[in-house]
Amino acid sequence: MRISKLAGAAMLGLSALGLSACAQTLDTTVSRYQAMPAPQGQSFIVVPGQGMAATGGLEFQRYAGIVAQQLQARGYSPASNYQTASMIVQLGYNIDPGQVRVVEDPFYHGPFGWGSGYGRYYDPFYSPFYRPRFGYGGGLGYSYGWDDPFWYRGAGVDSYVEYHPQIEMHIRAKGTNQPLFDGRAQARTSSNRLDVVIPSLVDAMFAGFPGRSGETIRITIPTRPTR
């Protein structure tokens, strides 16, 4: 009996750790097409794109600043104004109103589920469908691949609201309007806080930037601390 209680406590501790990890990361899908030149003194300016970015404003300026930091870190220089920029970076972003998702624990009425009288909690580590949530990249601040968590509560059924934030980034050569980069980063998340999800989507867009043209990859990215 004592061993059973200790094992239960250990599993609950692991579950709590998993929930904490989920709250600090964002699962993203990133698609990129690119013909980016190597950094050779090119300058850029970030301008509003479509969606909620269209009106510009202070919120857009914050996210544009994160894009500018990422480009600077890769050897491109911010231009002081539109006229002196050699590349135009268009950033757009949006998020949907959210959709209610209902999930049912298939093990609830199984031989060891809550409904059977034998079980006292659901342990995803013993599920034949469980895969590591963080993929197998690691060590770089982000990891490739992700998997959905199992959120089961109550009588074997749980519901939550799922949001779908998205950013789009287009880079064009000024003057010729030659396309240099087209990218889209999307996520499914239980948070509708733009100040959390949009910076993380920008980070995902720049993971391995500019990437291989035509690739679509899944990346788990750490969320930035909020102010």
Long-range Cβ contact pairs of 7-15 (< 8 A, separation 24 or more): 8/120, 8/121, 11/121, 11/123, 11/125, 12/121, 14/125, 15/121, 15/123, 15/124
Q: Quickly tell me which residue has 């209610």 as its tokens.
A: 100
Listed by start position, the domains of the chain span: 25-98+163-222, 99-161
pTM of the model: 0.69
**What's phi and psi for 161, nearest 5 deg?**
-100, 130
pLDDT of the chain, 227 residues: tens digit per residue: 444 433 443 333 333 333 333 458 899 999 999 999 999 999 999 999 999 999 999 999 999 999 999 999 999 999 999 999 999 999 999 999 888 888 776 665 555 454 444 333 333 333 333 333 333 344 446 655 555 444 444 556 677 789 999 999 999 999 999 999 999 999 999 888 999 999 999 999 999 999 999 999 999 998 887 66
- Strand, helix or coil for residue 146: coil
CATH number of 25-98+163-222: 3.30.160.670
Q: Which of 120, 132, 129, 152 is nearest to 11 (CA)?
A: 120
Number of Cβ atoms within 10 Å of the Cβ of 109? 12
